[in-house]
Homo-oligomer: A and B are copies of this chain.
Amino acid sequence: MDKNSVSCEHLNLRQTAKFLKQHDRFVILTHTSVDGDALGSAYALYYGLREIGKSAMVLLADDIPPKYGYFATETVTFPTEGAVIVSVDLADKRLMGKYEEEFGDRVDLSIDHHISNTEYAARLLLDANAAAACEVVYELLEQMDVNINDMTAKALYTGLATDTGCFKYANVTAKTHLIAAQLYEYNIDAAEINRLMFDTKSKNLLDLERQVLQTAEYHFDNRCMLLAVTAEMQQQTGCSGTELDGIAVISRSLEGVLAGVTVKQTGEDVFKVSLRTYPPLSAAEICKRLGGGGHVAAAGATVHGTLSQVKESVLNAVAAVMEEADAGSSVN
C-alpha cells in the first residue's frame, strides 16, 4: 500500500483494530534470528486474522527452528501485490534480512514493544512497557474481539515466556502475569513449552558448556567473571549462533559478580565480546570503550587480536568503568 512513507502515524489499540478489520490480505514480517517472541507475535496475529476470515501469511527470512514447530509452521503463500504489510517485534527495517529491499519502505503497520522503534512504517502500534510483542498482539486481538484458539494461545504464551526468561526479568509487569493467566484457560501445556524453551540442551551444547566452564577466570575480587568460547570448541561441538546465547547467562550468574564477560571467537583473531552487568556498572559504557554498544545491562563489541590480547582489552575496559563507578560512589 504505502510507499516510502515519510511520516509515521502512531495508532492506539482501537485504531489499529479498525485498520486491520478494514483490509483483507496481510503479509506478516518479523526480525531475522527469529526468537520466541518474533515467531509468537507473528503467528498469533496470523491465527487471529484467519479466525475472522482474513487471508494472511507469515514471511520469514530464516528457517523456523524446529523447537517452535508446535505453533510455527509454513503458512500458505500468495502474491504480496496489494496486500497489507504488517511487521511485528521489528524495531528497525534493517533487521528484515533478505526482505528489507522488497518491504523495508512499504510496511503499512508496525506492531512493536521496542522503545527504539525507528518509525520505518506508515503506522505504528507501540507499547514500550510491554515485556513482549506478544503482550501487544494479545491486547490487539482482545480489542478486535477475535476468538483465541489453542494455537494462538500457544504462540502468545511462547512470546511472553521467552522474552521474560519465564517471567524472571525486570520487564515483567502485573499485566504480563494477567495475560499469562488468561492463556492458561486454553490447552497450551505451558510446562512442556517451558521445557522446550528453557530446559532442553543438545549433548553438544552440554559438552561445550563443560569446556567453557574450564576457561572461567575471575578478576577484580570476583566482581568480574570471564568465559571464552574458542573457534575450536565451536567446531568440535558444532554449536554456534544463537545456541551460544546461554553462555553469557552463565558469566553473570557468579555470586557477587558485577561484570560477566563472554569472549567468543568469530574468525582468526576476531572475537565477539558480550557484556552482562549489574549496577553500578554499565555494559554499554564498557563496550563503548571497545568500539561497541548496547544497553545498560547487556552490550557487545567486536574486538580484533589474539585471545589474550582481547581479554586484556576487555579487562582494561572493565577496570576503567569499575574505577569510575567506585569514584562516583565515594563522591556521592
* One of A6-14, A46-54, A169-177 contacting the partner: A169-177
* Contact of A191 with B213 at beta-carbon distance under 8 Å, contacts A177-B177, A218-B203 already known: no
Q: How far is the CB of A223 from chain B (nearest CB, A)?
A: 12
Which parts of A228-282 form the interface with B (CB within 8 Å)? 249-250, 252-255
Complex-state Cα separation, A88 to B164, whole angstroms: 30
Contact of B177 with A191 in the complex, beta carbons under 8 Å: no
- Whether A201 contacts B167 by the Cβ 8 Å rule is no
* A106-B180 Cα distance, complex, nearest whole Å: 41
Contacts of A191 in B (CB 8 A): 168-170, 172
Complex: chain B residue closest to A214, CB-CB: B210
Q: Given A169-B191, A184-B173, A210-B214, verify A203-B178 contact (CB < 8 Å).
A: no
The range of chain A's interface size is 35 or more
A2 within 8 A of B: no
In the complex with contacts A172-B191, A191-B169, A253-B184 CB distance below 8 A: no
In-complex Cβ contact of A167 among B180, B200, B252, B253 (8 A):
B180
**Contacting pair A180 B177 (CB below 8 A):** yes
A182 within 8 A of B: yes
Given contacts A178-B177, A180-B177, A213-B210, contact A199 B167 (CB under 8 A): no
When each residue 173-207 of chain A gets 1 if its CB lies under 8 Å from chain B and 0 otherwise, what string results? 11111101110110000110010001111110011
Name the B residues within 8 Å of A150 (CB-CB). none
Chain B residues with CB below 8 A from A201, complex form: 253-255
**A199 and B166: CB pair below 8 A?**
no
Complex: A254 Cα to B184 Cα, angstroms: 27
* Beta-carbon nearest neighbor of A182 in chain B: B174
Bound Cα distance A177, B253 (Å): 26
- CB–CB B253/A200 < 8 A: yes
Please report the C-alpha to C-alpha distance between residue A206 and residue B173 in the assembled complex, in whole angstroms.
31
CB of A115 within 8 A of chain B? Answer: no
State the CA gap A222–B184 with chains docked (Å): 32
- A105 CB-CB contact with B under 8 Å: no
A165: chain B residues within 8 A (beta carbon): 166, 194
Q: Which 10 A-B pairs rank lowest in CB-CB distance, beginning with the nearest?
A: A177-B181, A170-B191, A210-B213, A174-B184, A168-B194, A174-B181, A177-B180, A167-B167, A177-B177, A178-B181
A165-B194, A202-B254 given. 4 additional CB < 8 A pairs? A166-B167, A168-B198, A172-B190, A177-B178
Q: List 28 A-B contacts (CB under 8 A).
A: A166-B167, A166-B168, A167-B167, A167-B180, A168-B191, A168-B199, A169-B194, A170-B191, A172-B184, A172-B190, A174-B182, A174-B184, A174-B185, A177-B178, A177-B181, A177-B184, A178-B178, A200-B254, A201-B253, A201-B254, A201-B255, A202-B254, A203-B218, A206-B216, A206-B253, A207-B213, A207-B216, A210-B213
